[in-house]
A and B are shown apart, each in its own frame.
Chain A
Amino acid sequence: METLLPLMVGTLFAAGLYFILHRHLFKVILGLILFGLATNLFLFVIGGLTRGGSAIINEEQTVAVEPYADPVPQALLLTAIVIGFGIQAFSIVLIRRVYMTFKSNNLDELQKENEAQ
């Protein structure tokens, strides 16, 4: 898992960036979603991966026994997922609105039309 997940993070970042740079609006949405996923996964991986080590402290102890899963990155992750979800939803609505106004799916054409005015 330790080697697989970082590779996946890298692939997701690369794919997300590639799609964000695309002029087709639908691919921009895909890019935003993939990039969001990449950051979330990165946050999860960088917190350290453990298996079966819950962060629950036993009754007779005062500190948790190593190795335990750090709950903070996971809490951050949850917040980040929710925020990312909201922004992705907004951008999908925005891009739909753009499509309905310009009747075009191509970012370059939007600019041309605006400059023509």
Chain B
Amino acid sequence: MPSDLLLVLPLLIPLYGALLCLAFWQREQWMAVMAGLAQVAWLLCAFMLMRRVLALEVIATQVGNWPAPYGITLAADVFSAMMLTSAAIIGLAVYLFSLQGLDVTRRRFGYYPLMLLLQMGVAGVCLTGDLFNLYVWFEVLLICCFALLSLGGGKGQLEGAIKYVTINFLASGLLLSGVGITYSLFGSLNLAELALLVRQPEHPNLPLLSMASVFFLVGFGIKAAIFPLFFWLPASYHTPPVAISSFIAGLITKTGMYTLIRLFTLLFVSDQGFMLPLLAILSGFTMLIGVIGAAAQTDFKKILSFHIISQIGYMLMGLAIYTPLAIAGSIFFIIHNIFVKTNLFLISGVVAQRYRTFSLKKLGGVYLLQPVLSVLFLLTALSLAGTPPLSGFWGKLMLARAGLEAGNYTLVAVSLCVSLITLFSMTKIWNEVFWKPRPVAVKKDIAMAPINPLRLWQLYLPIVLLLAFILFTGLYARPLVRLSERAANGLLHIGTYTDTVLSNNRAK
């Protein structure tokens, strides 16, 4: 398959999948079949893209065949292929979960097409090679998030959706302003050409670049939920059903983080004396505040939501240290976190299906009735907390080592303390939900949902699948570490990227 097609297919497959779903509006079984086919095709396509990128390092194409700095570029390097592949894997897992884990009404009213369009947005963000296009794809992704968050129209959902829509609209406005400023400073929107322009030390507008970079930092900072811009996340992520929140929680903040890493390695490199210490402070506070917030919560999903913030801090830490090892650690951490976070949300969904509540006070005794689920949770939670030899440990090891090598001792100390508190948080869930006996008062009030073995098996399947990935990346971390190092190398040595994008000029 030609590379051009491979780059366009991750956008086209979800789009056509969604259109096919719409053709079967309100017939949810047909919609589910179409969406399933699209998910599998998307995953295959992501794997093929990964293979191609591993062989060629960077591939690029110009949509509409306009030569590079003028046309719209699609480009993929190892980092974007990694994001796309993990998005496809959790997309399939969440799809499998939704077959039994989501009510029929929501499925009938457009859950599947919205999910597919959301995935198209994610693919667009990962593959675009153009600054304005990045903004457009983020809007595609966000409008699907808006619709998914409010889908079904529960009271809590509507309240959460208002906050989410307002703050993200604000963030998009800032982003657009940043895009405008960057264009007016350098006269280009193509990422590769901009990367070359900002590396000319004699360019007259270079000192003004930090101003543009702050717009992007705030805009994507809101989307990635970094300190002090995270307040919308715990207010909205726990409100929709698990089949929606698991995908959004697992992937969308990480997409914001992906863009931050991409832009701050490719474009905003001129004023690192100011930017890197700032990022380090932000990352320390993000980790700390997130995990302290989680300690105060007594709701399964809210604890997990706060932990997203804390984990974002780790990803930012790698960017703040800015050595090849640190960036590789960040990338490893992003991929690890996408799987782990989605899996934890899915497990909370299985628990809530049976017990009809997410409140830690009302839950209990799951270990007696569902020991398998408890083990699945325990492994995933320990992986999140970073217990060796599970996958979180390797990410944190890479980051801590890079931090020590760079002399960033405070940040490393903070990150290790936060790890401990994360472990405390996870044991809190374990104690309250799985270990302690179910409260007597609750036993009378809320009847447990009956067990249907086939249904339960279908709910377990995606969790087991994701856990297999988590265990694989933990117990045999070498391939993913190597891959992350390669991706980081590609980000820090931009020569291949710019050459491939800009040499693609000839008309074919």
Min distance, Cβ B69 to any Cβ of chain A, angstroms: 11
- Inter-chain contact A32/B183, CB cutoff 8 Å: no
Q: How does the 8 Å CB contact mask read for A89-109 relative to B, with 1 for contact and 0 for none?
A: 011001101100110000100
- Inter-chain contact B155/A76, CB cutoff 8 Å: no
- Closest A residue, CB atoms, query B154: A101
- Inter-chain contact B179/A76, CB cutoff 8 Å: yes
In the complex where A47-B180, A47-B183, A83-B139 touch, is A94 in contact with B162 (Cβ < 8 A)? yes
In the complex where A47-B183, A76-B179, A98-B159 touch, is A86 in contact with B143 (Cβ < 8 A)? yes
In the complex where A48-B184, A94-B165, A101-B153 touch, is A43 in contact with B177 (Cβ < 8 A)? yes
- Closest A residue, CB atoms, query B153: A97
- Inter-chain contact B177/A91, CB cutoff 8 Å: no
User: Is B176 at the interface (CB under 8 A from chain A)?
Assistant: yes
- Inter-chain contact A39/B173, CB cutoff 8 Å: yes
Show the binding face of B for A, using Cβ within 8 Å: 132, 136, 139, 142-143, 146-147, 150, 153, 155-156, 158-159, 161-162, 165-166, 169-170, 172-173, 176-177, 179-181, 183-184, 189
Q: How does the 8 Å CB contact mask read for A42-64 relative to B, with 1 for contact and 0 for none?
A: 11001110000000000000000
- Closest B residue, CB atoms, query A21: B166
Could you show 16 A-B contacts with beta carbons less than 8 Å apart? A20-B170, A25-B162, A36-B169, A42-B177, A42-B180, A46-B181, A48-B184, A72-B183, A73-B184, A76-B132, A83-B139, A87-B165, A98-B158, A98-B159, A101-B158, A110-B162
- Inter-chain contact A32/B155, CB cutoff 8 Å: no
User: Is A79 at the interface (CB under 8 A from chain B)?
Assistant: yes
- Inter-chain contact B165/A91, CB cutoff 8 Å: yes
User: Is A113 at the interface (CB under 8 A from chain B)?
Assistant: yes
Min distance, Cβ B357 to any Cβ of chain A, angstroms: 12
Residues of B within 8 A of A95 (CB): 162
Q: Interface residues of A: mostly helix, strand, loop or mixed?
A: helix
Q: How does the 8 Å CB contact mask read for A69-90 relative to B, with 1 for contact and 0 for none?
A: 0001100100110010011001
In the complex where A46-B181, A114-B159 touch, is A35 in contact with B153 (Cβ < 8 A)? no
Q: Interface residues of B: mostly helix, strand, loop or mixed?
A: helix
CA distance A107 to B147 in the complex (A): 20
Q: Residue among A46, A73, A97 with the most chain B CB within 10 A?
A: A46
Q: How does the 8 Å CB contact mask read for A17-37 relative to B, with 1 for contact and 0 for none?
A: 000100001001000100110
CA distance A98 to B153 in the complex (A): 8
Min distance, Cβ A50 to any Cβ of chain B, angstroms: 13
Min distance, Cβ A1 to any Cβ of chain B, angstroms: 17
Min distance, Cβ A56 to any Cβ of chain B, angstroms: 17
- Inter-chain contact A87/B153, CB cutoff 8 Å: no
Residues of B within 8 A of A43 (CB): 176-177, 179-180
Residues of A within 8 A of B177 (CB): 39, 42-43
CA distance A42 to B155 in the complex (A): 36
Across the A-B interface, give the 9 residue pairs with the lowest CB-CB distance, nearest first: A39-B173, A43-B180, A46-B180, A46-B184, A110-B159, A98-B158, A83-B139, A39-B176, A91-B165
In the complex where A94-B150, A94-B158 touch, is A32 in contact with B180 (Cβ < 8 A)? no
- Inter-chain contact A28/B166, CB cutoff 8 Å: yes
- Closest A residue, CB atoms, query B147: A90
Min distance, Cβ B362 to any Cβ of chain A, angstroms: 14
CA distance A38 to B153 in the complex (A): 31
- Closest B residue, CB atoms, query A28: B166
Find B150's partner among A35, A80, A97 (CB 8 Å cutoff).
A97
Find B146's partner among A20, A73, A94 (CB 8 Å cutoff).
A94
- Inter-chain contact A36/B173, CB cutoff 8 Å: yes
In the complex where A72-B183, A87-B139, A90-B146 touch, is A107 in contact with B153 (Cβ < 8 A)? no
In the complex where A36-B169, A94-B158, A102-B155 touch, is A73 in contact with B180 (Cβ < 8 A)? yes
Q: Residue among B153, B181, B184 with the most chain A CB within 10 A?
A: B184
- Inter-chain contact B158/A35, CB cutoff 8 Å: no
| Beyond known contacts A73-B184, A80-B176, A87-B172: 11 more, CB 8 A cutoff | A35-B173, A46-B181, A46-B183, A47-B180, A83-B139, A86-B143, A87-B146, A87-B169, A90-B146, A98-B162, A110-B159
Min distance, Cβ B163 to any Cβ of chain A, angstroms: 9
